[in-house]
Structure 1
Amino acid sequence: MSKVEVKKVVVAYSGGLDTSVIIPWLKENYGCEVIAFVADVGQGDEELVGIEEKAIASGASECYVADLKAEMVKDYIYPTLKTGAYYEGKYLLGTSMARPIIAKAQVEVARKVGADALAHGCTGKGNDQVRFEGAFAALAPDLHVIAPWREWDLVSREECLDYLAERNIPCAASLTKIYSRDANAWHISTEGGVLESTWNAPNEDCWVWTVDAEQAPNEAEYVTLNVEKGEVVAIDGKAVTPYEALLDLNEKGAKHGVGRIDIVENRLVGMKSRGCYETPGGTIMMEALRSVEQLVLDKASFEFREELGIKAAQLVYDGRWFTPLCESVMAASESLAQDVNGEVVIKLYKGQAVATQKRSDNSLYSEEFATFGEDEVYDQSHAGGFIRLYSLASRIRAMNAAKK
């Protein structure tokens, strides 16, 4: 297959083995200038220290590092939270939500330096190739996209290490890596190793942020969250930004073993994969928002928000963030969230985050109406007429059957 002529390419660079190989491979196979782009989405300082020097040593002419943490939480995570999105009922979309902002920032760097191509290190088996390239298509359809894993003949970690060694390019990676991990401010995922067999229980090496619930403190911790328009705005009475809220709740939740899931999910490309995901702060946030919704959303609105959550999860997971449908779903959930204001107390204990107290000025719950005791606001005889009309279709159907 003949290669498209490329003069300058911006590659999404992590500093790991794959992207360290991609930089010299692009130079050799496309004869182009390579610029590295690093997205700081909260993966941790240990992955970012010295990363610019590492990129230059691999052959990049420049390396741009963008701090996207606060923007990711405010403009990508918080809007998704309002939809109530869980992918396949469990996954809080940690990797999925980080990809659109990374791709967007990568395109911005490409425009800034006058690049005519974009590159990523996603494999041909995963979801991320679709997420990146779907975003590229929406934001920069004129730029060529290079996916080395779909082109080169390197098939193993050993071959990648040999490739770098032959070119005297330093790399801290080794053959001893067991798990594949992806981290950002929202979550950390672990795949591979013992998890490749679904009959293997995850061991403690599969978990990074959170303690085992059995080893968590024996005393519960209570945290109070204030919610305005579907967003956590204060914790224990202290006003916080979205990013500050996440950092605080991550620490609190991880200490109590909150936010662990072990899931076999359906990838977009057709295969199933297994992963252990840790989302401590997000789990607490989701519990708080859904608890306030229980108070303020009427039955029909709540059911519609549930539908929005299912659709949003599919769109975000499938890399369709920059689409009219995703924009519409987010706008609908934003509208419903206007009355989602309140205060919630969450109990953190042995892996669980449970709302124990909740209140809202917009609450539709009325103790006067709901009481099992004597009341003066509800005439129970009115329910008879309601039930007769509500079940009218069933009554007519039965009468028709009796005539046959």
Structure 2
Amino acid sequence: NEEIDYAEAHNVPLKVSRETSYSKDKNLWHLSHEGLDLEDPASEPLYDKPGFLEMGVSPAMAPDAPTYVTIDFEKGWPVALNGEKMKASAMIAKLNEIGGKNGIGILDIVENRLVGMKSRGVYETPGGAILYTAHDLLESITLDKETSHFKAIAAQKYADLVYNGQWFTPLREALDAFVDSTQATVTGDVKVKLYKGNVTPASITSPYTLYDEQTASFGEDDDYNQADAAGFINLFGLSIKERAKLSKNWNK
């Protein structure tokens, strides 16, 4: 408030008021809001308060009709939006505009800072939310189970390195090599529906898909014999069964 007092005393025009003078950081990827009423985790953010949200509107104020967007990926990189080739930076800017109008990417989170202190903030990242969801959907049909599960673990570590300012480290470079390897087949098109803060899948296609409709079917097919399940279940659960049997003789 001292800065606002000074500005008012010297007739300096401000874009914020005392009620919206949050601590904000903004770049192409996001806008963060911290301080004031957000410091109390029991306080609901007043998204529709004039001067709060800058990159879009709240889900409640978004249009009643959905918006569809299609993103093309090549080896994990977004290369086209609705059929138009463009650089990633231009695509993020465009998705920020489209997503913002639909109330996409508003996050209210409590984060753990480097020293362990907890801090609450509201983040706006409409373009980031759309890209993240679309890329994740494409990976769901192009990555095998084990790679997909381990990538989630590696992603958390990667995020920690970036957050903690450890970008220029051998581990980050090694994780980059892992990610590059996983993205070799992450090529395809993803269509998503944007509606009142939600990003939901509409279509996923890839020349490298691992999804086989015939094998995945609940009906009869040539690849999957339903009778095989009984033997698998018996073998897979054998260790659990043995532990339960032997534990009856343990000293309680």
**Runs of at least 5 residues in structure 1 that lack an aligned partner in the other structure:** 1-155, 166-170
Letter in 2 for 1:224: T
TM-score, with normalisation over the residues of structure 2?
0.87
Structure 1 partner of 2:246: 400
**Structure 1 stretches of at least 4 aligned residues deviating more than 3 Å after TM superposition:** 171-177, 401-404
Structure 2 partner of 1:200: 43
TM-score, with normalisation over the residues of structure 1?
0.56
Instruction: Give 1:265 deviation, angstroms.
Output: 1.4
Coordinate RMSD, CA, aligned:
2.6
Structure 1 partner of 2:204: 358
Deviations 1:341-381 (A, max 9, x none): 11111101111111121111111111111112232221122
Does structure 1 residue 301 correspond to structure 2 residue 144?
A: no
CA distance in 2 between partners of 1:270 and 1:402 (Å): 44
CA distance in 1 between partners of 2:134 and 2:15 (Å): 42
**Runs of at least 5 residues in structure 2 that lack an aligned partner in the other structure:** none
CA distance in 2 between partners of 1:226 and 1:387 (Å): 40
Deviations 1:68-120 (A, max 9, x none): xxxxxxxxxxxxxxxxxxxxxxxxxxxxxxxxxxxxxxxxxxxxxxxxxxxxx
Residues 173/270 of structure 1: CA separation in 2 closer, same or farther (3 Å cut): farther
Letter in 2 for 1:258: I
Structure 2 partner of 1:182: 25
Deviations 1:120-176 (A, max 9, x none): xxxxxxxxxxxxxxxxxxxxxxxxxxxxxxxxxxxx956xx69xx9xxxxx877996
Instruction: Give 1:225 deviation, angstroms.
Output: 0.8
- Which structure has more helix as a fraction of its residues? 1
Structure 1 partner of 2:59: 213
CA distance in 2 between partners of 1:157 and 1:327 (Å): 44
Identity of counterpart residues, as a percentage? 42
Secondary structure at 1:218 match in 2 = coil
Structure 2 partner of 1:230: 76
Residues 334/157 of structure 1: CA separation in 2 closer, same or farther (3 Å cut): farther
Structure of greater Rg = 1
CA distance in 1 between partners of 2:44 and 2:169 (Å): 39
Letter in 2 for 1:183: K
Instruction: Give 1:326 deviation, angstroms.
Output: 1.3
CA distance in 2 between partners of 1:174 and 1:198 (Å): 26
Instruction: Give 1:221 deviation, angstroms.
Output: 0.7
Name which of structure 1's ranges 289-298 and 388-397 shifts more when overlaid on structure 2. Answer: 388-397
Deviations 1:28-70 (A, max 9, x none): xxxxxxxxxxxxxxxxxxxxxxxxxxxxxxxxxxxxxxxxxxx
Q: How many residues are matched?
A: 243
Does structure 1 residue 381 correspond to structure 2 residue 197?
A: no
CA distance in 2 between partners of 1:202 and 1:401 (Å): 52
